Amino acid sequence: MEGTLMKKSMLGILTAVILILNTAIVLAAAPNIALIPDKTVEENSTVQDNWIDLQQFKFDGDTNLYCSWDNSTNCTGLVPNPAKGGVFPLEAGVYGSSVRLQQPNWLTYHTDNYNIDEGTIEMWIKPNFDMTDTLNNQGKMIWYHDSSSDSYNQFYVTIRNMKLMLASRRGSESLWQVAHTDVSHWNKDEWNHVAASWGQEAGIYFLRIYANGALSGEYLSAEPIFPENKCPHLFSLSSKIHCNKENLMGEAFDGWKDEFRLSSAAREDFTQVFDDGGLSNLAFTITGQTDPGLINCSIVGNRYVNCTDPAAGQTGFSDITVNATDAEGLSDAYTFRININSTLEDTEAPVIGVIPANGSTVSRREGTTDRKVYVMTDEPASCERSDDPAFAFGTGTPIPGDDGQKHIFTYNISEDDNNFTFYYRCNDTEGNVNAGSFYHLFYVSDTAVNGTVTDSSANPLENVTVSLYDSADTLVGQANTDSLGHYLKQLAQGVYTAVFSKAGYSSHNETGVSVAWDSVTTVDVNMLSLWATITGRVFDNDNTIYGADVELKQGGTVMYSASSNTTGGYVVNLLSGDYNLTVSKQGFNTTVVALSLAPEDNQTADVTLVPDTNGTVTGTVFDWSFAKIANASVHLYDGGTLVQVVESDDQGDYIINGAYDNTDYYVNGTKAGFTASTTNGPFVVAGNTVGDKDILLG
């Protein structure tokens, strides 16, 4: 190995996020600034701008989750789980910046403080669409909650048919309860405030929706809105906010959201959100810093605490006192500490390199039995070796090193061995040891043939048999490739023919392979797979066909078979050759197509079947408001056996051909975001069209 392997430098960078819980402004009562946790940063590191968000002071103790989206997608100390969609630009919002969201993206946060008995969710929204857009008939989902996928206790807030709508139901057999208000006057690219709250008064449970601070709709129930212990506290913010639900009715909200807040109390006064965000009610100042030369902090825009970056070599701490004064002149203060630590110590284990290279082959010199092995590290370290991959450092054989980075040992190479495996661990001067041992495999030969066998895509082929024949066509030796496609066979010097063979692959011959004394001749080979692939779909005149039998025959014998899936598709992997593709299904005439498949061929064979009966089933798919549903999946059953799957068209209509005479047919339907329909049937098909088999999705 040449040179020194480079190690990543370790520099501690802390992005601090603070959760400040309890500040209430009421007449003749001072603000109450709750605990501000102490902070720890590293010398010569970068402190994020707007480090402490004082907007959180304004919220009372019922606030469980708050998202300002002014600097990142983090929310009051919560970093989103891996986000779907991945691009969430921050743009100008109601206060500071907002987050841009559109179908099908969402951000997911986890909070353990969600109150199923009483609470409020509120936010500002700016739609990127007109209220008169016909797509609104499918719904623009703003917020969705599904407390359990098996009990269907749900409520959601959506823009639908130019209305801001709240809908709820409890139990799979319950009807939807809806409260709504007209928002046809809302305009594209304008901000509006929406909120929903839930709780109970005098034993009556309520669910309320607010538009721009005004109560716009209410649903009352004798049953709790949410059953106990049904929600796993998982919320997604963007095209939707949801709990344990991904498939939604309608289209997701497209636009911007800002100042999201989840509370554990049912709120009805939203006056605060319509001034300047409540910031004028509190004036923030820093009244004390014990060491501003170490790290200096200031208030920016009466909203953020910004601090300078600590310089290299500076360590220690500074106590920062923040004061909040309300409009009555009453105030409260709290002091927290910023610790400046020295730069993080090296915590990475040494990086290991080896000579001979992993997987390589070296010659055994005539008359020698020893071989030097070099273990190289990117930093001074002590190293050990073992035959046990799980050995602990301190239990292996030490490897001498002349400068702490080059470690050399000599290994006896017997005449009977042709491959060697070692495992290494190294310990640097800071005590960092490799978490896993370094695996080292190399091959040794005096006179030999070696090489690597791959397929046509350069993937290594294992268990290829390599047969060596001399000039008299006598087999003189064989070897098999390992998991890396590598093979090695020691031979006497001479000229050979190498034959490579593996089931399912075309045999490959290499002639004139010359092997000299004290050398290794390398022969690398690519082998051609004999397998081919055929894919396709089965159709009738109107739809794809589910459950068709697909058979590949040679001389009347079925060699391979498959069945079409719910979209009519099928895939068959088979050896190359000539076949008759036979496709059949009860109620349709059988179709036969001749195919010729070359090695590694990928062919597409779509087949259209013609019904041999006039039996047809038709109908329309509706939702609970009797709007027609396009692209719903419609299933036809013969008793309890699924026999066909089709999809409703743009008008919600469907047609199923090839229905043979039967007295026990049923149909039902499904679509993502809807509750599966109840079964329509049984009904009789007797060589004619059976219509009006409509399907209602919840």
Domain 64-264 top-level CATH class? mainly beta
Mean pLDDT calculated for residue range 43-53: 63
Assign domain 616-696 one CATH number from 3.30.70.20, 2.60.40.1120, 2.160.10.10, 3.40.50.300.
2.60.40.1120
Question: What is the per-residue pLDDT across 206-235, written as a single tens digit (0 to 9) for each?
Answer: 878 888 888 877 777 666 665 544 433 333
Question: What is the per-residue pLDDT across 290-320, written as a single tens digit (0 to 9) for each?
Answer: 998 888 888 877 777 888 888 777 888 889 8
Burial label, 388 (beta-carbon count in 10 A; 0-12, 13-18, 19+): exposed
Beta-carbon-side half-sphere exposure of residue 619 (alpha carbons within 13 Å) = 23
How far is it, in rounded angstroms, from Cα 475 to Cα 493? 15
CATH 2.60.40.1220 fits 352-445, yes or no: yes
Strand (E) or helix (H) holding 448: strand 448-455
What is the predicted pLDDT for the residue at 335?
Answer: 82
Q: Sorting pLDDT into bands at 50, 70 and 90, what band is 250?
A: very low
How far is it, in rounded angstroms, from Cα 659 to Cα 146? 38
Domain ranges of the chain: 11-59+278-305+327-344, 64-264, 352-445, 448-527, 531-608, 616-696
Question: What is the per-residue pLDDT across 59-82, written as a single tens digit (0 to 9) for each?
Answer: 555 677 777 777 777 766 555 554
Beta strands of 212-330 (E only): which ranges?
214-221, 234-238, 251-252, 255-263, 282-289, 297-300, 304-307, 316-326
CATH 3.30.1300.10 fits 448-527, yes or no: no
For the cut 90, the answer to whether the pLDDT of residue 186 exceeds it is no
How many other C-beta atoms lie within 10 A of the C-beta of residue 275? Answer: 10
Specify which residues 84 forms β-bridges with: 106
CB under 8 Å to 698, separation ≥6 — which residues?
152, 172, 176, 623, 624, 674, 675, 677
Specify which residues 501 forms β-bridges with: 465
**pTM flag (> 0.95):** no
Question: In this structure, what token pair is assigned to residue 614?
Answer: 């006039």
Count helices and strands in the chain by DSSP H and E runs: 0, 55
CATH topology of domain 531-608: Immunoglobulin-like (2.60.40)
What is the predicted pLDDT for the residue at 86?
Answer: 58
Nearest Cα to Cα of residue 367 among 278, 446, 451, 262: 446
For the cut 80, the answer to whether the pLDDT of residue 396 exceeds it is yes
Give yes or no on whether 352-445 and 448-527 have one common fold.
Answer: yes
Tell me, rounded to whole angstroms, the distance of Cα 68 from its chain centroid: 25
Question: What is the per-residue pLDDT across 318-364, written as a single tens digit (0 to 9) for each?
Answer: 898 888 887 777 777 878 788 887 655 667 888 888 888 787 777 66
